[in-house]
Amino acid sequence: MAIVAHLDLDAFFAAVEELENPELRRRALVVGGDPRSRGVVATANYVARQFGIHSAMSCAEALRRCPEAVFVRPRHTLYREYSAEVWTAIREVVPVVERTGLDEGYLDLTPLAADFGRARALAEAVRTSVRAATSLSCSLGVAPTKVVAKVASDRRKPGGITVVPAGTEAAFLAPFPVRVLPGVGPRAEERLHAAGIVTIGGLGVLSDLDLRAILPGQVGRLLRDRALGIDPRGLELTSERISISVEETFERDLRERDLLHAELRRMADRLGEYLQRDGLSARTVTTKLRYADFSIRSRSASLPVGIDDAERIGELACSLLDRGLRDRPGALRLVGVGVSGLSGYRQLTLEEAS
């Protein structure tokens, strides 16, 4: 029997800022862009959340909801340092992990816990270890599968542990809105709602015929399986699925291609510095485009070998932006560059090898 935990650091960026400046703990704190401009909330502490402030909200709206809120710009280098300490502490308790971001990931409890009672004790030990090493709070969900553990980790925030024993997965998931289920995006949610399916339990009992009418193809069957708690995925241990990205919201929407290219190359320089500092290379470059109507498009390119060269990343990012604008022309309010498929090794070029 597999037992897996999903760990999520609570309001991670805001929690780090509170550690750096304890006076912020009593204030409504928003980590994001300029509220007098076009910034977006990255995260908010739990004081700010009492005012209805949440991630992806415009900072202007956050300021309207709480005029006394404190706004700080993200400090990603600092967050990476805290994240490294967190995962070092976790591995001292559970050696086998899959990081899916700076602040979340999966833990394989199977070799260490014979049953779910022992798994809870192990999750408590992980929570204590993270707190002792960093003073940060984390929430954990423990279940037989990744999809159930992911949903469970969000149930008792901040700092809670939710255990879903084998055989209770479908009953645990059933009452939640369909959008809570990993893999259900806005379009799938819209189709399910149009068919009168508003809970995960309703999705789980759909017949094959009804499912094909609402969510045709493999996606529908996959989501129905997940609604029942069925998820054959194991932890991805060959590489940690962490990406690094930089993005910028403009003071005004930009159409000028040379200005957009200059922004992308500046971001690529920062990414190149991150990669070379940490001894990493990346096989995939992604350019993100957000249009004036807030719609988002992204274009990616994958390479046969990893790179850490800022100039090459910039060239690819600009090419991807051009491709995106050919597919959909228009002014952009934001662009971003990200790299993924990270590795600690890269292949030398002929010039470096000679």
Residues 109 and 152 in one domain: yes
Residues 156 and 248 in one domain: no
- Domain membership flag for residue 351: no
Beta bridge partners of 260: none
Residues 217 and 195 in one domain: yes
Domain edge (last residue) among 74, 102, 119: 74
Residues 64 and 89 in one domain: no
Predicted pLDDT of residue 344: 67
Which residue among the candidates 17, 18, 98, 104 is catalytic per the annotation?
Answer: 104
Predicted pLDDT of residue 352: 40
* Count of domains for the chain: 4
Residue 293: DSSP 8-state: T
- Domain membership flag for residue 34: yes
CATH number of the domain that 35 lies in? Answer: 3.40.1170.60
- Domain membership flag for residue 233: no
Contact, 53 vs 71, CB < 8 A? no
- What is the residue range of 219's domain? 170-227
The answer to pTM > 0.85 is: no
How far, rounded to the nearest angstrom, does the alpha carbon of residue 40 sit from its chain's CA centroid? 16
- Domain membership flag for residue 237: no
- Domain membership flag for residue 99: yes
* Edge-to-edge order in the sheet of strand 41-44: 41-44, 29-32, 70-72
Predicted pLDDT of residue 242: 62
- Return d(Cα 133, Cα 146) in angstroms, integer: 26
Residues 157 and 176 in one domain: no
- Domain membership flag for residue 124: yes
**3-class DSSP assignment, residue 50:** coil
Per-residue pLDDT of the chain (354 residues; tens, 9 = 90+): 899 999 999 999 999 999 999 999 999 999 998 998 888 999 999 999 999 999 989 999 999 999 999 999 999 888 988 998 899 899 999 999 999 888 999 999 999 999 999 999 999 999 999 999 899 999 999 999 999 999 999 999 999 999 999 999 999 999 999 999 999 988 899 999 999 999 999 999 999 999 999 988 888 999 999 999 999 999 887 444 467 888 888 989 999 999 999 999 999 999 999 888 878 899 999 999 988 877 788 899 999 989 999 999 999 999 999 999 999 999 999 999 999 888 864 444 434 433
Sign of CA dihedral 188, 192, 197, 203: negative
- Domain membership flag for residue 158: yes
CATH number of the domain that 319 lies in? Answer: 3.30.1490.100
Known catalytic membership, residue 98: no
- Domain membership flag for residue 236: no
Predicted pLDDT of residue 39: 87
